[in-house]
Amino acid sequence: MAKTALIAGITGQDGYYLSRLLLEKGYQVAGLIPPQRCKSIEKLGEIAERIKVCNIELTDAPGLLSVVEQLQPDEIYNLAAPSFVPDSWNDPLGTLDLVTGTATRLLAGVRQVGIPARFYQASSSEMFGEVNCSPQDENTPFRPKNPYAAAKVHAHWTMVHHRQRYNLFACSGILFNHESPRRPPSFVTRKVTLAAASIKLGLGERLEIGNLDAKRDWGYAGDYVEAMWRMLQAENPEDYVIGTGHLHTVRELVAAAFSCVDLDWEKYVTVNPRFFRPDEHFQLMANPVKAKQNLGWEPQVSFEMLIEKMVFKDLERLQREKD
């Protein structure tokens, strides 16, 4: 019989790639979508009609319990979060409720219904925060530096406590930055690829960017959802750091994107301190050895391939709109 997966946060970038993967594997996929955002399922494009939509607020604990009871999912993926980190300063409590509250309510649902559903929690490299060692692995302490990261740490520990106390098959993937053509333009990769494509087509003139020396470990979202799925197929529930193990600067990102469209980035890019973040001297870089050893997981798409994929998709989209 086909397995059923329930996804919170299904309309985001990762929700799309995960749904696509699970549908390819023959799963029935259901997504939790707040009633006032029911149209957002359309963001999933060609796969939208194959998704069972459960219209429910993520703050509605009894409602979530009844979805879990009716659906009896084999796997639950909690990807729900307001993912743009700086926004969490504007609404720390709302961030906490969405990130930690959703994890807690779903875990409570699994426990109360008493089904053997496997649970995935989307944790983040932001939880490492002000690191004093690099790269980071599953034993690196968390020192979160913003409300988003603090909420993710809370959700992570809530999941660990449920695993220990109630013996649930629950695990978390501590994912480093992962990108794709589906990334919203507020994030730096997409901001840059969109600007490069727009300038190439004569639709834009300049790119204003923040700290060119900021470094990140960037991978491809399509690879990272494979790691999520593998975690839930493993013999034991364990937490994993997922990243490439390679650092790149924003400068390298900009240079790579502009070189895809044969432009000299230095002619088009201006640094604007408005986009700087305070205290960004630490280096978030993954040590994904455990995922390779236990799950056989390795990223397939390199940094250069990722940026090329994003730039070409943006060119294609903009060209279509222009015609």
Per CB under 6 A, the list member of 40, 211, 283, 302 interacting with ligand GDR is 211
Catalytic residue among 126, 172, 179, 220: 126
The rounded distance, in Å, linking the Cα atoms of 223 and 239 is 17
- How many Cβ atoms from other residues are within 10 Å of residue 270's Cβ? 8
**Is 224 part of the annotated catalytic residue set?**
no
Candidates 1-9, 99-107, 132-140, 206-214; binding stretch for ligand GDR (CB under 6 A):
206-214
Per CB under 6 A, the list member of 19, 78, 83, 88 interacting with ligand GDR is 83
- Residue 126 makes contact with ligand GDR by CB under 6 A: yes
- Cα separation values, 234 from 53, 107, 224, 239, Å: 28, 19, 16, 11
Candidates 42-50, 100-108, 109-117, 184-192; binding stretch for ligand GDR (CB under 6 A):
184-192
Beta-ladder partners of 29: 5, 51
- Residue 191 makes contact with ligand GDR by CB under 6 A: yes
**Residue whose entry in the numeric block shows the structure tokens 């201006």:** 270
**Is 134 part of the annotated catalytic residue set?**
no
DSSP string for residues in 168-210 = --EEEEEE--EE-TTS-TTSHHHHHHHHHHHHHTTS---EEES
Q: Which amino acid is at 262?
A: D
Catalytic residue among 17, 120, 148, 240: 148
- Residue 214 makes contact with ligand GDR by CB under 6 A: yes
Residue nearest ligand GDR, Cβ-based:
210
- Cα separation values, 92 from 59, 79, 96, 160, 275, Å: 16, 18, 6, 23, 20
Cα 274 from chain centre: 25
The interface with ligand GDR within residues 298-317 (CB under 6 A) comprises none
**Is 148 part of the annotated catalytic residue set?**
yes
Interface residues with ligand GDR (CB under 6 A)? 83, 85, 124-126, 176-177, 186-188, 191, 209-211, 214, 216, 250, 275, 277, 280
Q: Tell me the catalytic residues.
A: 124, 126, 148
